[in-house]
Amino acid sequence: MTLEYIDLHTHSSCSDGTLTPAEIFSLARSINLAAVALTDHDTVSGIPEFLAAAKEYPECEAIPGVELACSFMSREVHIVGLFINPAGSKLREFIEDARQERMRRNRDLLVKLSLLGYKLDPAMPQFAGLPLDGVGRPHFAAALMEHYNFPHPRMVFEKLLGRNRPAYIPRRLPEPQRAIEAIHDAGGVAVWAHPVRREANERAFLKRAARKLCNMGLDAIEGYYSMFSSVETAMVTEVAGSLDLAVSGGSDFHGANSPDVILGFGAGGLRVPVGLLDALKAKRFPGSPGQGRQPDVYGN
C-alpha cells in the first residue's frame, strides 16, 4: 500500500487534547498516514510515549514536535517545531518560561470567571488531574459546559473565553525569534502555523509577516490546515515559494476538545501530501545539536 498523506500538527492529553500520545500514533496508523507529528503546546512531555508507540511500525514516521506561542506584529502567532530533540537546552528554557506564564494566566482566569459568576475548582474532573501549568482554555471550556450548561465548546469561547470576550486573559508572550532559535538549537525545523486568520488585508499581512519571520530564520509555513480553503492554501504556498520556505500542513487535531477536526482529514477535506516531507527535512538546521542524533531522538 502506498501511503500518500501526513498530519504534522496534533495535540495530545499532555497539553489540550484528549488522546494520549500513544493513541494519536495508533490512530494515525489506523488511517494509513505516512507520518504524524506530535506538536503539543509548550511541552515535550508526551514525546517519549509517542516515539515508543512508533518503534514497531516504521511504515508510519513519528515526528517529535512542539508548538510555541509568540507575540508578533500585534498578533499572537504560533511557531511549530518539527524533528526536534526534546532535550535541547534553549527549548527547555523556553518551555519553562511558558509554563510559568501559563500558570499565571490560569490563576487569573479562575479569578475572572468567579467574578463573572462562573466558579470553577481546579480539582474538577474536567481538568483531568492536570497541574495548573498543564491546563488550557479547552479544559476550562469543558468544565464550564459540564457545570453551566453550555451546549458546545464554541459557545463557551464565543461568550467567555475567546479573544476580546469578558473572561479572556492574554498571555505575555515572547518574540518569535526566540522560539525559532530554540527550535533550531534542538535540531528542528521552525514552521509558522495557521498563518491566515481571515482578517482585513490578510494577503498583505501574510507577505509582510512571512518576510520578517524569514529574516529571523523561519524555515517553513503551514499551507495545509483544517480551516483553510483551497484559495488560502494556494495563497500561502505562493508566499512560501517566493521566500524559499518549505510548506507544512496538519489538522490541529485535539480529539474530543475539537470534535469537528479529524486526524488526517481536518474538517473533512484536508489531505496533506507526503511529498512535503522531503523539503521540510532539507530545512533542518545545519550544525544544530539535533544533527547526528536522529535515530536516538526518533526511536524509529
Domain assignment present for residue 163? The answer is no
Q: How many domains does one find in the chain?
A: 1
pLDDT digits (tens, 9 = 90+) for 188-211: 999 999 999 776 678 899 999 999
* 3-state secondary structure at position 41: strand
Q: 16: domain range?
A: 5-95+172-298
Alpha helices for 76-201 (secondary structure H): 89-115, 137-148, 153-156, 176-185
Whether the CB-CB separation of 62 and 54 falls below 8 Å is answered with yes
Q: Which of 276, 174, 263, 177 has the alpha carbon at shortest distance from 222?
A: 276
**What is the number of H-type helices and E-type strands within the chain?**
10, 8
- Residue 136 counted as domain residue: no
In a domain, 247, yes or no: yes
- For residue 204, how far is the Cα from the chain centroid? 24
Is 234 a member of any domain? yes
Q: State the average pLDDT over residues 271-284.
A: 95
Domain membership of residue 226 (yes or no) is yes
Q: How far apart are CA 10 and CA 65, in angstroms?
A: 9
For residues 126 and 11, what is the distance between their CA atoms, to the nearest angstrom?
17
Question: Of 210, 218, 258, 201, whose CA–CA distance to 237 is shortest?
Answer: 210
pLDDT score, position 238: 96
The torsion of the CA quartet 91, 97, 100, 101, rounded to 10 degrees, works out to: -110
The CATH number of residue 40's host domain is 3.20.20.140
Question: Which tens digits make up the pLDDT trace of 107-153?
Answer: 999 999 999 999 998 777 666 656 566 678 888 888 899 899 899 88
255 assigned to some structural domain:
yes
Q: Is residue 49 part of a domain?
A: yes
Report if residue 279 sits inside a domain: yes
For 208-242, what is each residue's pLDDT tens digit?
A: 999 999 999 999 999 999 999 999 999 999 999 99
Q: CB-side exposure of 173: number of CA atoms within 13 Å?
A: 20
